[in-house]
Amino acid sequence: MRARTRDFVNSVYPEHDTVCILEQAARDFYIGVVGIGPGFESILELMARPGLEDFFPRLHLVACVASNICPEALNKLNALGVVRHETYQEMLQAHPGINLLIELTNQPDLLRELRRVVSPDIAILDHTSAVFLCGLLIMFEMSSKCKVDLLGQQSLLNAVMDEMNDDVFLLDAKGRVLDVNKHVCRRLGKEKKEILRKFCWEISSGTHHNHCRTDDPDCPLRTTLLQGRRAESLQTWVDPEGQAHYHQIRTYPIFNKQGEVQKVIEVRRDATLRTEMEKRLQQAEKLAAIGELSTYIAHEIRNPLFAIGGFANALLRAPELTVGAREKVRIILEESKRLDNILKSIINFARPTAAASAEVDVNTIILETVQLLGIGCKERGVAIDIQLAEDVAKVRGDAELLKQCLINLVKNALEAMPAGGSLTVSSGMESHHVRVTVKDTGVGIPSEVQDMIFNPFFTTKKTGGGSGLGLAMTKKIIGDLGGFLRLESQVGLGTTVTMLLPPYVLLQPAG
């Protein structure tokens, strides 16, 4: 009882060193009742209630002085093990441990006699004061009902919170964790007690990344504490494999009676899939706009370019040209051809990929690509490791287009290892998709540009080193075939690009 009393007092007066009188009640009360007047039924009800010690000192009704008692009250006395006596003298002699007498006879003379002859060590509660026992019984009943209602609401709230697939934290005004739902414990693989009292930024969503601190101006907890309103932000972290993850963090204030923010609820939701879908939609819209613009520009440029190339060819065959002029015309012709190749790339990028239905063996594509680029690997000091799964399924697509995609990925990997390194090209099955992976040990890609690496015309190469369409076209081709690309990269450790393609499914004709 004393521990629960202390917890209750501390919850009501958290900033006061309050000592409750019930905590100081070190002894039990052994009760003897004189008379069966008003209040006697309440005493019996109070003694029979379970859980009484949660609210009162330990009470034991051991004996009573009663005559002409009704059968119902007699049954209750017997159930409680209460002994009946004819006089209070007989009761006190038989039970010397009684330390509380309750007088219910409503006889002033008897009350005065009790106060005169009873030992000072025995407290006396007269029939007038005993009316409070009735009030205590009513309060106990109301408390029990409120407790049942509260436990029901608490169970419902816990069930709702624990079934959520989001991380839910209850924080104090300093950002310390007061409570979490089960999802947090399951995700971190820890007991709740290992998480409580830590600061929220110490509990990261990823292995090597902590969320923002309250001194971060973009921290939603800081905004909620300072402005007393709901706040949210999108946090990014990179896992040990170099994959970017996104978490949406929302904070909600809980106010005290003075209108001050006392606690904060923080909800963290893994928004990686949704963010990726939004980026893909934006990319698709961007590609559509670029495609229309590229087609128009290419058409308008190719007409005069065709004329330039034609006249340059004619001039090059003219016998009256000097050696210097002929060299200049040759440069014009070569540059016009280079520009024409760039326009062809733009047109090919803008043109939708034809939906091919041929069976393609990715292992064959890998072997042919490595054979084609093997000489370049040796010249750069790059060791090639080919890991082909024998049970890999075939894919539906165009073999030449897939080979071009793989060539683009391998060439980018080689360019990322100017001082040599290791290149691994592998195949396999993953999540009902055919997997083709190109892994290098090159310089890696900074996290701030990973989201842009597949954008058209974006390149990290020096001026003139590339058009920035290779990876964009690769992603477009794979997407048109129903697959997708996955990028994992860490600066200084290398990059892994994975093509995930739908397997070829043989459809039997109906009937």
Residue 86 has pLDDT above 60, yes or no: yes
Q: Among 21-25, 238-242, 500-504, where is mean pLDDT lowest?
A: 21-25
DSSP 306-362: HHHHHHHHHHHT-TT--HHHHHHHHHHHHHHHHHHHHHHHHHHHHSPPP----EE-H
pLDDT in tens, 130-148: 667 667 667 777 877 887 8
pLDDT of 424 reads 92
CA distance linking residue 43 with residue 27, whole number of Å: 19
pLDDT of 292 > 70? The answer is no
pLDDT at 439 over 90: yes
- What is the Cα–Cα distance from 348 to 401, expressed in whole angstroms? 11
Q: Could you give phi then psi for residue 19, rounded to 5 degrees?
A: -115, 125
pLDDT in tens, 320-358: 878 888 888 888 888 888 777 777 766 666 555 554 567
Higher pLDDT, 366 or 51: 366
pLDDT in tens, 25-83: 556 889 898 887 777 777 777 776 666 666 667 778 889 888 777 777 778 778 878 88
Residue 19, pLDDT score: 47
Domain with CATH 3.40.50.720 in the chain: 2-141
Question: Between the CA atoms of 94, 95, 99 and 102, what dihedral angle is there, to the nearest 10 degrees?
Answer: -70
Tell which CATH architecture fits domain 276-350: Up-down Bundle (1.20)
Domain with CATH 1.20.58 in the chain: 276-350
Specify the range with the lowest mean pLDDT, choosing from 4-13, 36-45, 58-67, 152-161. 4-13
CATH of domain 359-501: 3.30.565.10
Using a pLDDT cut of 70, give the percent of the chain over it: 75
Token pair listed for 196? 């409580």
CATH number assigned to the domain covering 2-141: 3.40.50.720
pLDDT in tens, 469-489: 678 778 888 888 888 888 888
How many whole angstroms separate alpha carbon 249 and alpha carbon 131? 56
Give CATH for domain 165-270: 3.30.450.20
- Measured CA to CA, the distance from residue 413 to residue 15 in angstroms comes to 63
- Please give the DSSP secondary-structure letter assigned to residue 424: E
* Residues in a beta bridge with 64: 33, 84
Say how far apart CA 27 and CA 29 lie, in whole Å: 7
Report yes or no: 205 and 245 within 8 Å, Cβ to Cβ. yes
Structure tokens belonging to residue 333: 């012709």
pLDDT at 22 over 80: no
Residue 263 has pLDDT above 80, yes or no: yes
Domain with CATH 3.30.565.10 in the chain: 359-501
Do 407 and 371 contact (CB within 8 A), yes or no?
no
Pull the structure tokens for residue 231: 């706040």
Please indicate whether residue 273 or residue 467 has the higher confidence score (pLDDT).
Answer: 273
Most confident stretch, 51-65, 110-124, 181-195: 110-124
pLDDT at residue 511 above 60?
no
Interhelix angle 71-80/40-48, rounded to 10 degrees, is: 40
Q: How far apart are CA 383 and CA 380, in angstroms?
A: 9
In 3-state terms the chain splits into helix, strand, coil percentages (rounded to 5) of 45, 20, 35
What are 497's strand-pairing partners? Answer: 438, 487
Q: Which residues of the chain are in CATH 3.30.450.20 domains?
A: 165-270
**What tens digit of pLDDT does each residue of 206-256 get?**
444 445 555 566 788 888 888 889 998 877 666 665 566 777 888 999 998
